Amino acid sequence: MTGSELRERFAASLMPNYGVPQIALTLGRGCEVYDADGRQYLDLIAGIAVSSLGHGHPALVKAVAHQAATLAHTSNLFINEREIELAERLVALLGGDAKVYFSNSGTEANEAALKLVKRAAGPGRHYFVAAGKGFHGRTSGSLALTGKDAIREPFGPFGMDVRFVPHGDLDALREAVDTGCTAVFVEPTQGEAGVVPAPEGYLAGVREVCDATGAAFVLDEIQSGIGRTGAWFAHQEAGVRPDVLTLAKGLGGGLPIGACVGFGRYADAFHKGDHGSTFGGNPIACAAALAVLDTIEKEGLLAHTAVMGDLLAEQLDAIDHPLVAGQRGSGLWRALTLTGPHAAHVQEQAAVRGFLVNAVAPDVIRLAPPLVITPEQIGVFIEALPTVLDAAEAATKEKQS
C-alpha cells in the first residue's frame, strides 16, 4: 500500500481534525522510521516526546508481548499486579508521601487533577489560575485551563472560572491568586507554546504563592517528565514539589498511559467512586511503563539525555543562518527559533531530506528525539540543517513572489 493510497483512505474514513498528514509511517527501528513508500527518516520528534526508547526497543517489545499473553485487561473492578508495581515505582522516584491514579492520556490525567483539587478544596474556593499560552489538553476541563485562544474559544463556555496570567510572571501570579483560588495549573516549560522555559526560580515562586494562599499547586509534566529534560522530573531540578503532578507521553514509551499523582493530603482526597477509568491502569500499558523506567535506569539514559541535550544545543548554537534566531530548552527537548514564520517550510524540507521535526509554532521547530539518540545521529542532522534551511528560505521566497 503506497503513501498516496493510505492518505486517500485516511481522508475517506477519518474525521478531518488532523487534516491529512503527508507521511504514512509503517516501520520503526531505534531512532529511525520508514514510510509506506520505503523512505527512511531520522525521528527527531518521537511521537511528540512519547517514544522515549525509540522504536522497537527489545525491552518494551518483550514486556508488552509477555503481558498481552498473560493478562491483557482487568478493568478497575479487580487488582492487577503491574498497576501496583508501576505506582510503587513512581512513588519511589518522587520521594514517597504520594499516591497515583492511572489514566490513558495526558488530558485525562489533568481532568483527574482538576477533580482532585476540587474535592480537596475548602469552602469559598471557586476559581483557578493558569498560564497564558499553556496547554493542558483538549477535553473540556483541561481545555478550560489551556491558554491558547484559538483552540479554546470555539468550545466554551466551560462552566468554571479560569484566570490566565503570563507564563513565568510571578508578580502577575501573586496578584491573581488569593484564598478564593482552588488551584494553580502550570507547566515547568510550555511545550506546545514552543518549548518556552520559565525563568529560574519560577517553580519555587509558584510553590510560595500556593503555600501563602492555600491554593493547590498542580504541575503538568506531561511532556517534561520521565527523563525528557535529563532528570526524572523537571520539578526535581528546581528543588520543589507540587501538590499534584500529571504525567503521560514518555511514561509508556509509545503505549497510551497517563498518571495523576497526589502528594500529602492530595494523595487521599478522592473518595470511593469519585473518579475512574475502564482502561486506566491497564496491565499492558503498565508493563510498558515499567519497561521504560527499567531501561532508563539500566542504560543510564538520564545522564545520556543530559549529555546529548547539551551536544544538540551546542551544535544548534553554532548554526549561522539568516533563518535561525537561536535555540532554547533543556535535555532532549529543544526549540530551534526562527527569524520569521518559516517553520512549516523547515518541517517540510527536513522531511524531504529524511528528518522528522515539528513546526510547533510559525517561527519555532520543536525537537524531542528518542532518549536513545546517538552523537552520530545528531551530527547527521546538524550537517544537513543548513541545506534544509536554505531550501525553506527558497520556499518562503517562492510563496511570497
Residue 371 contacts residue 262 (beta carbons within 8 Å) = no
C-alpha–C-alpha distance, residues 77 and 301, integer Å: 36
Average of per-residue pLDDT values in the chain: 97
Q: What is the pLDDT of residue 163?
A: 98
Pairing of β 244-247 and β 216-220: parallel
pLDDT, tens only, 291-300: 999 999 999 9
59-298: CATH architecture: 3-Layer(aba) Sandwich (3.40)
pLDDT, tens only, 52-79: 999 999 999 999 999 999 999 999 999 9
Q: What is the pLDDT of residue 215?
A: 98
Which of 149-163, 213-227, 344-358, 374-388 has the weakest average pLDDT?
149-163
Give, in order, the Cα–Cα distances in Å from 181 to each of 160, 163, 257, 263, 312: 12, 10, 29, 19, 40
C-alpha–C-alpha distance, residues 103 and 106, integer Å: 8
Q: What is the pLDDT of residue 353?
A: 98
CATH 3.40.640.10 spans which residues of the chain? Answer: 59-298
Residue 169 contacts residue 147 (beta carbons within 8 Å) = no
Predicted structure pTM score: 0.96
3-57+299-400: CATH architecture: Alpha-Beta Complex (3.90)
Residue 260 contacts residue 101 (beta carbons within 8 Å) = yes
Which of 216-220, 336-340, 392-396 has the weakest average pLDDT?
392-396
Length of the chain as a residue count: 401
Residue 189 contacts residue 215 (beta carbons within 8 Å) = no
Which strand (E) or helix (H) includes residue 163? strand 161-165
**What residues are labeled active site?**
135, 220, 249
C-alpha–C-alpha distance, residues 64 and 253, integer Å: 11
Q: What is the pLDDT of residue 396?
A: 83
Residue 232 contacts residue 225 (beta carbons within 8 Å) = yes
Q: What is the pLDDT of residue 96?
A: 81
Residue 285's pLDDT band (boundaries 50, 70, 90)?
very high
Kindly provide the residue ranges of all beta strands, DSSP E only, lying in 252-318, ordered along the sequence.
258-263
Q: What is the pLDDT of residue 398?
A: 77
Q: What is the pLDDT of residue 397?
A: 79
The stretch 238-264 carries a mean pLDDT of 98
Burial class (CB in 10 A: 0-12, 13-18, 19+), 104: buried
Q: What is the pLDDT of residue 36?
A: 97
CATH 3.90.1150.10 spans which residues of the chain? Answer: 3-57+299-400
pLDDT, tens only, 130-166: 999 999 999 999 999 999 999 999 999 999 999 999 9
Residue 393's pLDDT band (boundaries 50, 70, 90)?
very high
Which strand (E) or helix (H) includes residue 113? helix 106-120
C-alpha–C-alpha distance, residues 358 and 345, integer Å: 11
| 46 torsion bin: left (phi>0), alpha (psi -120 to 50), beta (else) | left
